[in-house]
Amino acid sequence: MRIGMGYDVHKLVEDRKLILGGVEIPYEKGLLGHSDADVVVHAIMDALLGAAALGDIGKHFPDTDPKYKDISSIELLKYVGKLLDENNYRIGNIDATIICQRPKLAPYREQMIKNVAKALNTDTSKVCIKATTEEGLGFTGEGLGISSQAIALLEN
């Protein structure tokens, strides 16, 4: 068994869609980034890549490469899933937390879980996505950005 951890953060800005877990969430701001800036999928990818000792998302999807401009992070996650398959890894489980003050994410969690599981060709019972606030503290609590942490267990 191998364990990996991932972390990502993006700034909230106007005139961008808010995409989390492959779900477009109605909100007045979205996350700034080269891709769709889906922080939870980015954290999950880094956790998976780290567990497999295959680098990080910057290595595989550099923000200097125009082919990744505005790309769906779910598409990038599919690529990570293929890398895991090629290296004979199976997902034991993924546990991710999204940290933001607003919007409330509970209505979207199940779809996020389904999207991640489908992209990785695994069962939804192996994916957990949670959300929490920071009680108004820090950049996430002030609504300046959203962060996410993830941990993944791989079996070979």
Instruction: Tell me: is residue 140 an annotated ligand-binding position.
Output: no
Instruction: Tell me: is residue 28 an annotated ligand-binding position.
Output: no
Q: Classify the C-alpha dihedral 21-96-89-54 as positive or negative.
A: positive
pLDDT at residue 137, rounded to an integer: 85
Instruction: Tell me: is residue 73 an annotated ligand-binding position.
Output: no
Could you report the per-residue pLDDT of 103-155, keeping only the tens digit for each?
Answer: 999 999 999 999 999 999 999 999 999 999 998 888 888 889 999 999 999 99
Instruction: Tell me: is residue 23 an annotated ligand-binding position.
Output: no
CA distance linking residue 121 with residue 134, whole number of Å? 32
Instruction: Tell me: is residue 60 an annotated ligand-binding position.
Output: no
Instruction: Tell me: is residue 107 an annotated ligand-binding position.
Output: no
* Domain locations in the chain as residue ranges: 2-155
Percent of the chain with pLDDT over 70: 100
Could you report the per-residue pLDDT of 20-56, keeping only the tens digit for each?
Answer: 999 999 999 999 999 999 999 999 999 999 999 999 9
Instruction: Tell me: is residue 42 an annotated ligand-binding position.
Output: yes
CATH 3.40.630.30 corresponds to the domain 2-155? no
pLDDT at residue 7, rounded to an integer: 98
Instruction: Tell me: is residue 95 an annotated ligand-binding position.
Output: no
Instruction: Tell me: is residue 64 an annotated ligand-binding position.
Output: yes
Instruction: Tell me: is residue 135 an annotated ligand-binding position.
Output: yes
Nearest to 56 by CA among 89, 85, 83, 28: 83
Instruction: Tell me: is residue 123 an annotated ligand-binding position.
Output: no
Instruction: Tell me: is residue 61 an annotated ligand-binding position.
Output: yes
Could you report the per-residue pLDDT of 72-95, keeping only the tens digit for each?
Answer: 999 999 999 999 999 999 999 999
CB 87 within 8 A of CB 54: yes
| 154, β-bridge pairs | 2, 91
